Amino acid sequence: MIQPVARRLTEFPRELSGGLVSLGRYLANFHNHTVAFRVGNWVVTTYAFFNATAFFFGCTISLWFNSMGGFDASRMARLHFLIALPAILIGSRVFSICTDWKRLCDSPWEAVLRPGYMYHGGLFGGLLAFGAIAHLTKSPFLFLCDSVVIALPFAEAIGRLGCYVYGCCWGRPASHGLGIRYTSLDSSVLRNAPDLLGVKLHPVQLYFAASSMLLFFFMLQLLPHRQFDGMLTAVYFAVHPIGRFALEKLRHDNRGKLGGGWTHTNLYSGLMLIGAFAIWWFRSSLSITPIDTQVAWSNIVSNPNVMCWVIPFSVIFFFTHGVQYKAVGSWIRSKTH
């Protein structure tokens, strides 16, 4: 009896070491796990899980901020999902289609039916929607904006991990230092730029994720020091574009060119900077909605009247952003384009 136990104890470190090595190899090659699994003709991408998770945390953090400001979280959840969500989806989809303007001109139907969403489109669509919500509820528009932007960095950090494994937003070839090699033919990078097969690329998606998470924690530290509604929005509109401008130099994907080395992302980032300066310029005339920082995020996720909205719409995001037909990169066709 003692000998088997002793043998097991001596084997355990070797098994643990082997398990850690296997886990390390899996994580090192995680970016090539574009497809999570297939069900018949349906392809479920790993991105679907990351996107649904990002949506869940983004919504609950936003509603948490609303709750700190004394707003009824369940009512705000209904407004978020009935008004803001459609605007975000439409905005991100329209911007994505317009980014690929050459395909749109050459083959409009194909451009419309090709999967893709753009972050800035969802952001601007959401701002329009929250303007409508502020009007309907007689709520401070900039407070509602603050409730969104405090959630965006955390959600974007998770979403960028989805981009990392989906293979979109890929980086330039890296001659030294950090680098990843895409070998999955399902990845967006190899579907759009097959010459990059096995080429060492900057993991720009991870850079974005790290910078977004840092911005989120920075904004959390600002909560007790808010001076006016819109302060968090101004900070986000100023800091986020600076990071995008810096990291844009390392991107090498097909996100749309405007000429002279400028991209659509540069344009939208510039508009955000203008918005940040405008809010800061008029800060002395802006009111402030007091918040109770003692309100816990767990109050939101434990509220069934809120979760009955958040969970179903997280599932919707799972399907709209990560479930495709027959091949990755297609909603209705049998092959990618």
**Calpha distance 209→307 (Å, rounded):** 26
pLDDT tens digit string along 309-333? Answer: 999 989 988 988 788 888 887 766 5
Cα atoms in the 13 Å half-sphere on the side-chain side of 21: 6
Confidence of residue 81 (pLDDT cuts 50, 70, 90): confident
Q: What is the mean pLDDT of residues 330-337?
A: 55
Candidate from 72-81, 122-131, 242-251, 279-288 with smallest mean pLDDT: 122-131
Confidence of residue 160 (pLDDT cuts 50, 70, 90): very high
* Cβ neighbours for 30, distance < 8 A, ≥ 6 positions apart: 164, 165
Amino acid symbol at 300: I
Q: What is the pLDDT of residue 110?
A: 59
Q: What is the pLDDT of residue 199?
A: 93
On the question of pLDDT at 337 being above 50, the answer is no
Higher pLDDT, 262 or 310: 310
Tell me how far CA of residue 317 lies from CA of 66, 116, 173, 259, in angstroms.
22, 13, 32, 33
Q: What is the pLDDT of residue 334?
A: 46
pLDDT tens digit string along 189-233? Answer: 999 899 999 999 999 999 999 999 999 999 999 999 999 999 999
Amino acid symbol at 53: T
* Cβ neighbours for 141, distance < 8 A, ≥ 6 positions apart: 130, 131, 134
Candidate from 13-17, 29-33, 163-167, 168-172 with smallest mean pLDDT: 13-17
Confidence of residue 335 (pLDDT cuts 50, 70, 90): very low
Q: 50-80 burial string, b = 16+ CB within 10 Å, else e?
A: bbbbbbbbbbbbbbbbbbbbebebbebbebb
pLDDT tens digit string along 84-111? Answer: 778 777 877 776 666 665 665 566 655 5
Closest C-alpha to 258, from 102, 154, 127: 102
On the question of pLDDT at 139 being above 70, the answer is yes
Encoding tokens for residue 254?
């097909």
